[in-house]
Structures are given as structure tokens and as C-alpha cells.
Amino acid sequence: MRRVPFLAAGLAALALAACQPVAQKPPSETAATSAVCTELMQVAEALEQVNSLKPTSTVGEAQTVNKRLGKAIKGLKAAETELEKARLADFQAELKAFKKEVTKVAKNKNLTLEQAAADLKSKAAPVVAAHKELSAAVNCKAPATP
């Protein structure tokens, strides 16, 4: 039972971190983030009920609270999956737009490499930003340098 307050505090911290406003998000990611926040609140409420069980609580009360916690965790997992899909979709959309720009620049045979690089550098910024956000969401470690 002592781990429950720590778990509740950890989930509350996660909820606050996940729910922080970030630079303009596409609606799909914003909705998915909101769903994760809602589900985190449901888990926190269920954990509070678990924590409020007393030695005089009945087995039936404990089972009811356990079912609610299980349902809340299942909802959180589903919401997190949708958020991951939304973040990946955002990255893929940025990548697709960049590839289109590369194709457009490649068709102009009169451009120098310097001009092409200058044109593509600004177009690559959103892809890099989306990649950083996607990587930060899973706390990736940098690969070893050969």
C-alpha cells in the first residue's frame, strides 16, 4: 500500500508534464494529448480510492476499486497509443512535404548546390523539429558514434 502514494504522485507529475501547453499542435495531436490528460486524471482518482481503503473496507469494495483502477489504466493505454499515432503522423506529414520540396529543387537543373541547400535548409526545419519532438516523447538516447 505504501507504493500507491508514490505511484499517484508520479502519475500526477506525468499528467502535468503531458498537459503543458506546447507550440501550436495539429488538432489530432491536441485532442490525443487532451485524452491522455483525461485518462491520467481517471487513474489518479482511482488511485485515491485505492489509497482510501481501510482495514474495515469490505472485499467487495476493494474489488470495485480494483476494477475501476484497471479500467482507468486500460483507458490510459489506449489514449497513449492514439497520442503516439498522432505524433508519428505529424512527423510523416512534415517528411512528406520535405520530400516534395526536394523533388521540386532536383528538377531545377540550373540551381547550384549552394542555392539548392539554401532552399532546402528552411524547408528541413519543420522536419527536424517534428523529429526532435517525436524523439523527446520517448526519451531516446543518442546512438554511439562509430
Instruction: Give the domain ranges of the chain.
Output: 3-138
Contact residues for 32 (Cβ-Cβ < 8 A; gap 6+): 79, 82, 83, 85, 86, 87
Is it the case that residue 5 has pLDDT exceeding 70?
no
Among 15-19, 46-50, 70-74, 85-89, the minimum mean pLDDT is found in 15-19
22: cell is 506546447
Place 134 in a pLDDT band, splitting at 50, 70 and 90: confident
Q: For the residues 95-105, what does the mean pLDDT come to?
A: 91
Place 6 in a pLDDT band, splitting at 50, 70 and 90: very low
Is it the case that residue 100 has pLDDT exceeding 90?
yes
Distance CA 70, CA 123 (A): 45
Q: For the residues 51-78, what does the mean pLDDT come to?
A: 93
Is it the case that residue 17 has pLDDT exceeding 70?
no
Distance between first and last Cα of the chain: 47
Is it the case that residue 86 has pLDDT exceeding 60?
yes
Share of the chain above pLDDT 90, in %: 34
Contact residues for 91 (Cβ-Cβ < 8 A; gap 6+): 127, 130, 131, 133, 134
Is it the case that residue 144 has pLDDT exceeding 60?
no
Q: What is the pLDDT of residue 32?
A: 86
Is it the case that residue 23 has pLDDT exceeding 60?
no
Place 48 in a pLDDT band, splitting at 50, 70 and 90: very high
Answer for the pair 11, 50: CB distance below 8 angstroms, yes or no.
no
